[in-house]
Amino acid sequence: MANTMLELTGIHKSFGENQVLRGIDLIVDKGEVVAILGPSGSGKSTMLRCINHLETIDKGDIKIKNQTLAENGIYVDEKKQREVLSATGMVFQQFNLFPHMTVIENLIEAPIYVKKISRDEAIKTAESLLEKVGLSEVRDRYPARLSGGQQQRVAIARALAMMPDILLFDEPTSALDPELTGEVLKTMRELAAEHMTMIVVTHEMAFAREAASRVIFMAGGVIVEENNPKDFFNNPKEERTKLFLRNML
Partner 1 sequence: MEKFLNMTVLIFQGAGVTLEIFFITLILALPIGALAALGRLSKIKPLSLLMEFYVWIMRGTPLMLQLLFVYFALPVVGLRLPDIAAALLAFTLNYAAYFAEIFRAGLQAIPRGQFEASKVLGLSHWHTMKRIVFPQVLRIVLPPISNETINLVKDTSLIYILAMNDLLRVARTIVQREFDMTPFLIAAIFYLAMTAVLTWAFKKLEAHYGKYDA
52 binds partner 1 (CB under 8 A): yes
Pairing relationship of beta strands 166-170 and 197-201 according to DSSP bridges: parallel
Interacting stretch for partner 1, rule CB under 8 A, among 10-18, 95-103, 126-134, 201-209? Answer: 95-103
97 binds partner 1 (CB under 8 A): yes
Count of residues that bind partner 1 according to CB under 8 A: 27
Of 89 and 229, nearer to partner 1 (C-beta) is: 89
Tell which one of 92, 207, 217, 244 touches partner 1 (CB under 8 A). 92
| 33 in Cβ contact with 198 (< 8 Å) | yes
SS3 157: helix
Of 114 and 193, nearer to partner 1 (C-beta) is: 114
Tell which one of 3, 113, 124, 195 touches partner 1 (CB under 8 A). 113
Tell which one of 67, 71, 80, 114 touches partner 1 (CB under 8 A). 114
The 150-179 site mask, x for binding partner 1 (CB under 8 A), equals --------xx--x-----------------
- Residue (of 242, 221, 243) closest to 42 by Cα position: 221
| 58 in Cβ contact with 14 (< 8 Å) | yes
Pairing relationship of beta strands 197-201 and 214-219 according to DSSP bridges: unpaired
Of 20 and 84, nearer to partner 1 (C-beta) is: 84
Question: Distances in Å between the alpha carbon of 86 and those of 20, 22, 89, 149, 164?
Answer: 26, 27, 8, 26, 7
Dist. CA 207–CA 203, nearest whole Å: 9
44 binds partner 1 (CB under 8 A): no
Dist. CA 135–CA 171, nearest whole Å: 21
76 binds partner 1 (CB under 8 A): no
- Output the smallest distance, CB 58 to partner 1, in A: 20
Count of CB atoms situated within 10 Å of the CB of 198: 23
Q: Please report, as ranges, the residues that interact with partner 1 according to CB under 8 A.
A: 52, 54, 82, 85-86, 88-90, 92, 94, 96-101, 109-110, 113-114, 142-145, 158-159, 162
